[in-house]
Amino acid sequence: GMRETASPATLPADTLKADILWHVLYSLGRDNERPDRQTVFRALALALRDRLVEKWIASQRAIYAKSSKRVYYLSLEFLPGPFLRQNLIALGLEKEARDALTELGFTLDDVAGEEWEPGLGNGGLGRLASCYLDSMAALRLPAYGYGIRYAFGIFHQLIRDGQQVERADNWLRGGQHWEFERTHYMHPVRFYGSVREWVDEQGRLRHTLEGGSTVMAMACDMFIPGYRNDYVLNMRLWAAKSSREFEFSFFNTGDYIGAVEKKIRDENISMVLYPNDEAPEGKELRLKQQFFLVSATMQDIVRRFRKKGVAWDQFPRKNVIHLNETHPAVAIPELMRLLVDEELLPWEEAWYICVRTFAYTNHTVLPEALEVWPEELFRKVLPRHLQIIYEINRRFLHDVRRQFPHDPGLLARVSLIHEGEQRFVRMSHLAIVGSFSVNGVSAHHSNIIKESIFNEFYKIFPERFNNKTNGITPRRWLRQCNPTLAWLITEHIGTEWLTDLEQLKKLEPYAESAGFQKAWMEVRLRNKQKLAEYIHAKNGITILPESLYDVHVKRFHEYKRQLLNILHVITLYNRIRRDPDAGIVPRTFIFGGKAAPGYYMAKHIIQLINAVGYTINTDPRVGDMLKVVFLQNYCVTLAERIMPATDLSEQISTAGMEASGTGNMKFALNGAITIGTHDGANIEMLEHVGDENLFLFGLLSHEVEDLRRQGYNPRTFYETDSELREVLDMISGGYFSPGDPHMFRDIVESLLNHGDRYMVLADFRSYAYRQQDAARAYLDQPGWARRSMLNTARMGFFSSDRSMGEYARDIWGVEGV
Known catalytic residue: 363? yes
119 binds ligand DL6 (CB under 6 A): no
Q: 292: which residues sit within 8 A by CB, 6+ positions away? A: 148, 189, 215, 217, 238, 240, 269, 270
| Number of neighbours of residue 491 by Cβ within 10 angstroms | 9
Minimum distance, C-beta of residue 261 to ligand DL6, in the bound complex (Å): 33
**Closer residue to ligand DL6, CB minimum distance, 219 or 501:** 501
| 658 lines the binding site for ligand DL6 (CB under 6 A) | yes
Find the catalytic residue in 42, 426, 479, 554. 554
Q: Which stretch binds ligand DL6 (CB under 6 A): 120-128, 344-352, 492-500, 626-634?
A: 120-128
124 binds ligand DL6 (CB under 6 A): yes
Q: How many residues bind ligand DL6 (CB under 6 A)?
A: 18
Nearer Cβ to ligand DL6 (59/446)? 446
- 572-577: list long-range contacts, CB under 8 Å, 24+ apart: 572/626, 573/612, 573/615, 573/616, 573/619, 573/622, 573/626, 574/723, 574/726, 574/727, 574/730, 576/621, 576/622, 576/625, 576/626, 577/619, 577/621, 577/622
Q: What angle do CA 71, 75, 79 make, to 5 degrees?
A: 115
Taking CB under 6 A as the binding criterion, the range among 361-369, 403-411, 455-463, 561-569 that sits at the site for ligand DL6 is: 361-369
The span from the CA of 234 to the CA of 240, in Å, is: 19
Residue 560 annotated to the active site:
yes
Task: Out of 592, 661, 676, 714, name the contact with ligand DL6 by CB under 6 A.
Answer: 661
Which listed residue (476, 666, 786, 802) is catalytic?
666
DSSP state of 152: B
Contact call for residue 278 and ligand DL6 (CB under 6 A): yes
DSSP letters, 291-336, are: HHHHHHHHHHHHHHHHHHT--GGGHHHHEEEEEESSTTTTHHHHHH
Choice from 143, 339, 369, 531 touching ligand DL6 (CB under 6 A)? 369
Q: Which of 363, 385, 444, 528 is catalytic?
A: 363
* Rounded distance between C-alpha atoms, residue 320 and residue 65, angstroms: 18
The DSSP symbol for 585 reads P
- 408-447 residues in contact with ligand DL6 (CB under 6 A) are 441
The distance in angstroms from the start CA to the end CA of the chain is 36
Does residue 554 carry a catalytic annotation?
A: yes
130 binds ligand DL6 (CB under 6 A): no
- Between 489 and 668, CB nearer to ligand DL6: 668
The reply to whether 662 sits near ligand DL6 by the rule CB under 6 A is yes
Write down the least CB distance from residue 280 to ligand DL6, Å. Answer: 7
Smallest distance from ligand DL6 to CB 709, Å: 24
134 binds ligand DL6 (CB under 6 A): no
Nearer CB in complex with ligand DL6: 543/704: 704
- Whose Cβ is closer to ligand DL6: residue 280's or residue 383's? 280
Is position 429 annotated as part of the catalytic site? no
From 60-68, 121-129, 479-487, 711-719, give the range in contact with ligand DL6 by CB under 6 A.
121-129
Minimal CA–CA distance to 151: which of 167, 170, 179?
Answer: 170
Torsions phi, psi for 208 (to 5 deg): -130, 135
Least gap, CB of 559 to ligand DL6 (angstroms):
9
Q: CA-to-CA distance for 668 and 649, rounded, in angstroms?
A: 8
Give Cα 87 distance to the centre of its chain: 20
Tell which one of 19, 117, 134, 277 touches ligand DL6 (CB under 6 A).
277
HSE at residue 635, side-chain half, CA atoms within 13 A, is 21
Distance CA 227, CA 302 (A): 30
Instruction: Determine the Cα–Cα distance for residues 421 and 675; give it in Å rounded to an integer.
Output: 44
287 binds ligand DL6 (CB under 6 A): no
**Could you say which of 70, 363, 568, 603 contacts ligand DL6 (CB under 6 A)?**
363
Binding of residue 328 to ligand DL6 (CB under 6 A): no
Q: Which is nearer to ligand DL6, 324 or 791 (CB)?
A: 324
- Provide long-range contacts, Cβ within 8 A and 24+ apart, for 716-720: 717/761, 717/762, 717/764, 717/765, 718/751, 718/752, 718/761
Active site (catalytic) residues: 363, 554-555, 560, 662, 666
Positions touching ligand DL6 (CB under 6 A) are 123-125, 128, 277-278, 325, 363-364, 369, 441, 470, 658-662, 680
